[in-house]
Chain A
Amino acid sequence: MITGFPPLSFLILIPVIGAVVCYGPWFARERDAQARLCRAWSLAVSAMTLVLLLAIAKAGVSDPRVVLSVSETRPWLPSLGINLNLLLDGLSFVFCLLTCVVTLAVIAWSSRPAEAGPSWYGLLLVGQSTVLGAFLATDLFVFYCFFELMLLPVLVAMALWGGPRRLQAALKFLLYTIVGSVPMLLSILYVTWVSSEALGHSSGGTKFTFDLFSLSTVNALSPTQQIAAGLGFLVAFAVKTPIVPLHGWLPETYREAPHGTAAFTAALLGKVGVYGIIRFMFPLFPDFMLLAGPYLAAAGAIGVVYGAMVAMVQRDVRSLLAYSSISHLGFCILGIGVASDLAITGAVFQAVSHGLVTVALFLVFGKVIEREGTRDLDSFGGLAQQIPVSAFFLMVFSIAAVALPLTSSFVGEFLIIIGSWKGAPGWTALALVGVVLGAVYTLTAYLKTMFGPERERSGAASIPDMRGGEVVVAAALAAAIVFLGVFPQSTLDTIAPAVEQQLAKMPEGGLANPRAQMRPRASSAADAADTQSSEGLVQNIALAGKQEGTAR
Chain B
Amino acid sequence: MAGEDLRLSLVVLAPLIGSILSYLLGRRVPKLAGIVASGAVLVSFVATVLLWREVSPTTAFTSSLSSWLTVSFQGAPFSLPIDLYFDSLSAVMCLIVTGVGFLIHVYSAGYMAHDKGIARFFAYLNLFIAAMLILVLGKSLPVIFIGWEGVGLCSYLLIGFWYTNTEYAKAGRKAFVMNRIGDVGFIVAMALLFTYCGTLDVVELSKESVLARVPAGLAFLVGISLFVAATGKSAQIPLFTWLPDAMAGPTPVSALIHAATMVTAGIYLMGRMHGVVELDPAVPAVILWVALATAAVAATTALAQNDIKKVLAYSTVSQLGFMFLAVGVGQYSVALCHVVTHAFFKACLFLSAGSVIHECHHEQDMRRMGGLAKKMPITAACYGVSTLAIAGICPFAGYYSKHAIFGAISTTTNPFLHPYIGLVGGLATAIAVCTAFYMARSFIMTFLGSYRGEGHPHEAPVVMTAPVAILGVLAVVGGFLFVHPITDFVTGPLPPTSVGHESGGLFGIFIGSLPGIFGIALAAYLFILAPREKDVLRAIFSPLERLFERKYYADELLDIAVVRPVDKLSGVAYRAIDQRIVEGSGGAVGSVVQAVGELTCRMTTGQVTTYVLLMFFAAAALFSVFSQVR
Residues of chain A whose beta carbon lies under 8 Å from any beta carbon of chain B: 79-80, 148, 168, 171-172, 174-176, 178-179, 182, 185, 189, 192-193, 205-206, 208, 245, 247-249, 251-252, 306, 309-310, 312-314, 341-342, 345, 382, 384-385, 399, 404-406, 411, 414-415, 417-419, 421-422, 425, 428-429, 432-433, 435-437, 439-440, 443-444, 447, 450-454, 486-489, 492, 496, 500, 508-509, 521
A452/B69 contact (C-beta < 8 A), A168-B586, A404-B149 known: no
Specify which chain B residues have a CB less than 8 angstroms from the CB of A411 in the assembled complex. 69
Q: Is B142 an interface residue (CB 8 A)?
A: yes
Specify which chain B residues have a CB less than 8 angstroms from the CB of A179 in the assembled complex. 589, 592-593
A409–B567 Cα gap in the complex (Å)?
Answer: 26
Q: Is B629 an interface residue (CB 8 A)?
A: yes
Q: Are B581 and A245 closer than 8 Å at their CB atoms? A: yes
Q: Are B71 and A342 closer than 8 Å at their CB atoms? A: yes
Q: Are A309 and B573 closer than 8 Å at their CB atoms? A: yes
Specify which chain B residues have a CB less than 8 angstroms from the CB of A345 in the assembled complex. 71
A243–B584 Cα gap in the complex (Å)?
Answer: 17
Q: Are A432 and B146 closer than 8 Å at their CB atoms? A: no
Residue in B closest to A312 when the chains form the complex, CB atoms: B570
A–B pairs, 29, beta carbons within 8 Å: A179-B589, A182-B596, A182-B615, A189-B622, A193-B626, A208-B626, A249-B585, A306-B573, A309-B569, A310-B570, A310-B574, A341-B73, A342-B71, A342-B78, A384-B164, A414-B187, A417-B191, A418-B78, A421-B195, A429-B188, A444-B173, A450-B163, A451-B163, A452-B165, A453-B166, A486-B68, A487-B66, A496-B71, A508-B73
Number of interface residues of B (CB under 8 A): 69
Q: Are A451 and B169 closer than 8 Å at their CB atoms? A: yes
A440–B160 Cα gap in the complex (Å)?
Answer: 15
A435/B615 contact (C-beta < 8 A), A421-B195, A443-B177, A496-B71 known: no
A80–B192 Cα gap in the complex (Å)?
Answer: 51
Specify which chain A residues have a CB less than 8 angstroms from the CB of B220 in the assembled complex. none
Q: Is B194 an interface residue (CB 8 A)?
A: yes
Residues of chain B whose beta carbon lies under 8 Å from any beta carbon of chain A: 66-75, 78, 142, 145-146, 149-150, 153, 156, 160, 163-166, 169-170, 173, 176-177, 180-181, 183-184, 187-188, 190-192, 194-195, 566-567, 569-571, 573-574, 577-578, 581-582, 584-586, 589-590, 592-593, 596, 608, 611-612, 615, 619, 622-623, 626-627, 629-630
Give the Cβ gap from A528 to chain B, nearest Cβ, in Å. 15
A176–B587 Cα gap in the complex (Å)?
Answer: 10
A80/B623 contact (C-beta < 8 A), A174-B608, A342-B73, A405-B146 known: yes
A417–B608 Cα gap in the complex (Å)?
Answer: 42
Give the Cβ gap from B588 to chain A, nearest Cβ, in Å. 8
Q: Are A500 and B169 closer than 8 Å at their CB atoms? A: no
A384–B627 Cα gap in the complex (Å)?
Answer: 65
A208–B566 Cα gap in the complex (Å)?
Answer: 54
The one of B71, B166, B184, B615 in contact with A415, judged by C-beta atoms closer than 8 angstroms, is B71
Q: Are B586 and A248 closer than 8 Å at their CB atoms? A: yes
A208–B166 Cα gap in the complex (Å)?
Answer: 66
Residue in B closest to A81 when the chains form the complex, CB atoms: B626
Q: Are A452 and B71 closer than 8 Å at their CB atoms? A: no
Q: Are A178 and B612 closer than 8 Å at their CB atoms? A: yes
A422–B486 Cα gap in the complex (Å)?
Answer: 41
Residue in B closest to A392 when the chains form the complex, CB atoms: B120
**Max chain B CB contacts within 10 Å: which of A178, A179, A405, A432?**
A405
Q: Are B582 and A248 closer than 8 Å at their CB atoms? A: yes
Give the Cβ gap from B47 to chain A, nearest Cβ, in Å. 22
Q: Are B73 and A496 closer than 8 Å at their CB atoms? A: yes
Specify which chain B residues have a CB less than 8 angstroms from the CB of A206 in the assembled complex. 629-630
A450–B75 Cα gap in the complex (Å)?
Answer: 47
A451/B66 contact (C-beta < 8 A), A310-B578, A405-B142, A418-B191 known: no
Residue in A closest to B179 when the chains form the complex, CB atoms: A439
13 A-B pairs besides A171-B586, A206-B630 with CB distance below 8 A are A175-B593, A175-B608, A178-B593, A185-B619, A248-B582, A251-B578, A251-B582, A415-B71, A436-B184, A444-B173, A447-B173, A453-B166, A489-B69
The one of A404, A454, A492 in contact with B153, judged by C-beta atoms closer than 8 angstroms, is A404
Q: Are A309 and B566 closer than 8 Å at their CB atoms? A: yes
Residue in A closest to B200 when the chains form the complex, CB atoms: A418
A486/B191 contact (C-beta < 8 A), A179-B589, A443-B173 known: no
